[in-house]
């Protein structure tokens, strides 16, 4: 085992912080390290169309080494690429770049990262997962053919971590849809009546809503909570004005309030649910989970670690959930814990 | 920020795997890394009286470099120390040692690690937390005065992680007692009737029982489950025959079964609970937690991610818990997640 594995695992953890938010792109984390182990820059790919993780890590690393503030003003990937190529002055010759996914090798919305890295001339590029996407693949080969020591670091634990990180991206690409079920609960498992999650949890949830195609809830939630189902707490670069299409999962819906009617569809059964495409978020409790358990790709629990004495005794809602999920990642979200399962 | 911080955080994570099991000693994790970043050996301090983390990491590292199997046969810290001093042949001259806690500087149950490291002549020793324990402190100073580049790596995130890791040790040392409340639940928060945790969770729990002074349960659990309250699933080096003293927390206890009577004490109130000393484990649900919430130092949740349909609707037990815990660490235990809070 080599320290590269621990450092790549760190890049995977960075990438989880924006898990699902860059869809249809993968979440990626990267960092630039000098020969003394100093971390010059770190980056995560935040949203489709914005600079890739490697480019953001390079931007920060360039600033760390040069203190040239001009690069910080650049927002577009093209501009950062061009600036780096013109000004790098061999400063990365003895540096290593760590990245959770093979650098891309095609010009999509941004120029190819592999070409940029080759021209900057890194001493080493360490990669946790190869890209299977035919269009973007070949970054490692390109780097090697241009004289860069590009290493695919293989260990069972890291491979699993890197694979799990890519699940939403791979699922959406292969099946045309990625279904995430989101559930929040307090210390005792209660989840009804009022606030559960911390502010940072709420921001994460609204960032997800701002990039999803469908936001689904049960008819019961619609009637009980009359929710707004918007992304009002999303923070840039996520668009708080985005209004996802709404799926109301229910056999009978009496009425839909005016502010939702224009974007709501009644989902009467599993067949109708299966007809939805894209990034689909379902927010609900154990009864809805029980109904949809075979349809979901990932389960995200926001666990809060408090009880206030007021909700405890009212919370129990009978359900028939019979399911077994597999833990894939945890990360703190403010005071809460995000638990990712599949 | 430097990669040393990430590598020390990895050592802290290693140490959490034996959290509380080495009491009254701290849990410590260490690794030996060569100049190319290869991890030659890793170690965690497993149980009081056994070799320290640094010594186990050195033992593995020596074997990795030499393939000399004689060192693997050594179990006692004295013997490993002596063997290393005689046979190291400067092999660690260009290596770094990472350790979550300052190497000890006194001869306790084992010879001082700081002296061993100084004689082996490491290129660098990185430390996540200084030892405040007057008797053992001074390891870093000793190393520096013997020409070793011993670095106390300070960053807010790492300091917090290293501090949290030491909480059980510090609490026991300062207050004479460390109270851990342990609670297990399924995906929906249910925790009654039958199995909850995975086998690896159970082993961890029984390893803890094998080193604790008191194991406390409610009178209700005693009556309902007639539990064995032993450490039968503990694995070496933990002693599965250890029988902790039992505290029955209840105002009225009708009868205590014969196999428990000789080691059981009735704890009638908070005052009686406060009279207990040493490493105290309380295993219970939300009612007991509600009663003891101001008495506990840490809360450990074993979260299982399944529901079987059979227990769901019977599980709800009214409680009045009003409490707010702070997340300090998570780690997988087989299929379960261990969530450490305070």
- Test B187 with A325 for CB contact under 8 angstroms: yes
* Nearest-angstrom CA–CA distance, A293 and B181: 32
**What is the average pLDDT value for chain B, to the nearest integer?**
94
Q: Is A130 on the interface with B (CB under 8 A)?
A: no
Please indicate, yes or no, whether residues B187 and B168 belong to a single structural domain of this protein: no
User: Which residue from A185, A190, A330 is facing B337, i.e. has the nearest CB?
Assistant: A330
Does position A107 have pLDDT exceeding 80, yes or no? no
The end-to-end CA distance of chain B, in Å, is 28
Does position A135 have pLDDT exceeding 90, yes or no? no
**What is the average pLDDT value for chain A, to the nearest integer?**
94
* CATH code assigned at A312: 3.40.430.10
When pLDDT is cut at 50, 70 and 90, the band that residue A193 belongs to is: confident
pTM summary value: 0.96
Please indicate, yes or no, whether residues A190 and A94 belong to a single structural domain of this protein: no
Please indicate, yes or no, whether residues A240 and A100 belong to a single structural domain of this protein: no
Please indicate, yes or no, whether residues B197 and B317 belong to a single structural domain of this protein: yes
- Test A3 with B33 for CB contact under 8 angstroms: yes
Shortest Cα–Cα distance, A331 to chain B (Å): 9
Q: Where are the beta strands (DSSP E) in chain B?
A: 29-33, 39-44, 96-99, 124-127, 150-152, 177-185, 214-218, 245-249, 264-267, 278-283, 298-303, 306-308, 322-324, 327-333, 336-341
* Nearest-angstrom CA–CA distance, B40 and B22: 24
* Nearest-angstrom CA–CA distance, A252 and A80: 53
Does position B228 have pLDDT exceeding 60, yes or no? yes
Mutual angle of helices B3-16 and A3-16, in 10-degree steps: 90
Please indicate, yes or no, whether residues B66 and B113 belong to a single structural domain of this protein: yes
CB A261 within 8 A of CB A245: no
Please indicate, yes or no, whether residues B281 and B320 belong to a single structural domain of this protein: yes
Does position B259 have pLDDT exceeding 90, yes or no? no
Strands B327-333 and A29-33: unpaired
When pLDDT is cut at 50, 70 and 90, the band that residue B135 belongs to is: confident
Please indicate, yes or no, whether residues A98 and A195 belong to a single structural domain of this protein: no
Is A102 annotated as catalytic?
Answer: no
- Test B323 with A306 for CB contact under 8 angstroms: yes
Q: Is B39 on the interface with A (CB under 8 A)?
A: yes
Min mean pLDDT across A81-85, B256-260, B297-301 is at B256-260
Does position B178 have pLDDT exceeding 70, yes or no? yes
- For chain B, state the CA radius of gyration: 22
Does position B193 have pLDDT exceeding 60, yes or no? yes
Residue with tokens 């100093």: A38
Does position B313 have pLDDT exceeding 60, yes or no? no
Residue A61 belongs to what domain range?
3-172
Select from A150, A172, A194 the last residue of a domain. A172
Select from B124, B142, B172 the last residue of a domain. B172
Please indicate, yes or no, whether residues B168 and B182 belong to a single structural domain of this protein: no
CB B143 within 8 A of CB B118: yes
Please indicate, yes or no, whether residues B119 and B259 belong to a single structural domain of this protein: no
User: Which residue from B306, B319, B341 is facing A305, i.e. has the nearest CB?
Assistant: B341
Shortest Cα–Cα distance, A86 to chain B (Å): 27
- In 10 A of CB A211, how many CB atoms? 23
CB B136 within 8 A of CB B52: no
The count of C-alpha atoms lying within 13 angstroms of the C-alpha of A173, restricted to the half-sphere facing its C-beta, is: 15
Does position B79 have pLDDT exceeding 70, yes or no? yes
Please indicate, yes or no, whether residues B144 and B187 belong to a single structural domain of this protein: no
Mutual angle of helices B3-16 and B156-175, in 10-degree steps: 30
* CATH code assigned at A7: 3.40.140.10
- Test A3 with B185 for CB contact under 8 angstroms: no
When pLDDT is cut at 50, 70 and 90, the band that residue A157 belongs to is: very high
The pLDDT value given to residue B82: 95
Please indicate, yes or no, whether residues A71 and A126 belong to a single structural domain of this protein: yes
When pLDDT is cut at 50, 70 and 90, the band that residue B33 belongs to is: very high
Contacts of A2 in chain B (CB under 8 A): 36-39
With 0-12 / 13-18 / 19 or more C-beta atoms within 10 angstroms meaning exposed / middle / buried, residue B159 is middle
Contacts of B315 in chain A (CB under 8 A): 316
What percentage of chain A reaches a pLDDT higher than 70? 97
Min mean pLDDT across A267-281, A305-319, B204-218, B287-301 is at A305-319
Min mean pLDDT across A59-68, B211-220, B253-262, B292-301 is at B253-262
Please indicate, yes or no, whether residues B154 and B181 belong to a single structural domain of this protein: no
* Nearest-angstrom CA–CA distance, B304 and A293: 17
User: Which residue from A3, A307, A335 is facing B322, i.e. has the nearest CB?
Assistant: A307
- Test A339 with B337 for CB contact under 8 angstroms: yes
What does the DSSP assignment read for A249-282?
E-S------HHHHTTEEEE-SHHHHHT--EEEEE
* Nearest-angstrom CA–CA distance, B111 and B68: 23
| Mean pLDDT in residue range B1-7 | 97
State the total domains in chain B. Answer: 2
More confident residue, A190 or A230: A230
- Test B306 with A324 for CB contact under 8 angstroms: yes
B337 contacts: CB under 8 Å, gap ≥ 6: A327, A330, A339, B302, B303, B305, B330, B331
Q: Is B149 on the interface with A (CB under 8 A)?
A: no
* Nearest-angstrom CA–CA distance, B335 and B303: 9
| Mean pLDDT in residue range A19-23 | 98
Select from B172, B189, B217 the last residue of a domain. B172
């Amino acid at each position: 085992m080599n320290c590269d594995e621990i450092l790549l695992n760190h890049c995977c953890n960075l990438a989880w912080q924006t898990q699902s938010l860059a869809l249809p792109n993968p979440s990626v984390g990267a960092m630039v390290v000098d020969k003394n182990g100093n971390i010059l820059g770190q980056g995560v790919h935040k949203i489709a169309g914005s600079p890739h993780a490697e480019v953001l890590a390079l931007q920060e690393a360039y600033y760390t080494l040069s203190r040239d503030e001009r690069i910080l003003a650049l927002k577009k990937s093209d501009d950062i690429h061009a600036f780096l190529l013109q000004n790098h002055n061999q400063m990365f010759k003895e540096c290593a770049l760590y990245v959770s996914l093979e650098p891309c090798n095609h010009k999509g919305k941004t120029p190819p990262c592999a070409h940029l890295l080759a021209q900057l001339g890194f001493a080493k590029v360490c990669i946790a997962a190869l890209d299977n996407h035919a269009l973007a693949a070949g970054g490692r080969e390109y780097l090697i053919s241009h004289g860069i020591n590009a290493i695919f670091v293989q260990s069972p634990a890291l491979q699993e971590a890197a694979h799990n990180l890519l699940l939403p991206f791979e699922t959406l690409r292969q099946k045309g849809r990625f279904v995430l079920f989101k559930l929040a609960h307090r210390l005792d498992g209660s989840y009804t009546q009022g606030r559960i999650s911390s502010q940072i949890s709420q921001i994460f949830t609204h960032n997800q809503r701002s990039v999803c195609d469908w936001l689904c809830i049960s008819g019961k939630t619609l009637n009980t909570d009359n929710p707004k189902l918007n992304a009002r707490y999303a923070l840039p670069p996520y668009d708080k004005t985005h209004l996802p299409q709404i799926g109301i999962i229910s056999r009978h819906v009496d009425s839909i309030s005016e502010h939702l009617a224009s974007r709501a569809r009644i989902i009467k059964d599993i067949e109708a649910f299966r007809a939805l495409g894209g990034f689909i978020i379902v927010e609900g409790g154990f009864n809805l989970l029980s109904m949809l358990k075979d349809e979901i790709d990932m389960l995200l629990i926001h666990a809060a670690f408090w009880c206030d004495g007021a909700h405890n005794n009212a919370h129990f809602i009978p359900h028939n959930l019979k399911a077994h999920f597999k833990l894939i990642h945890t990360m703190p979200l403010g005071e809460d814990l995000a638990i990712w399962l599949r």
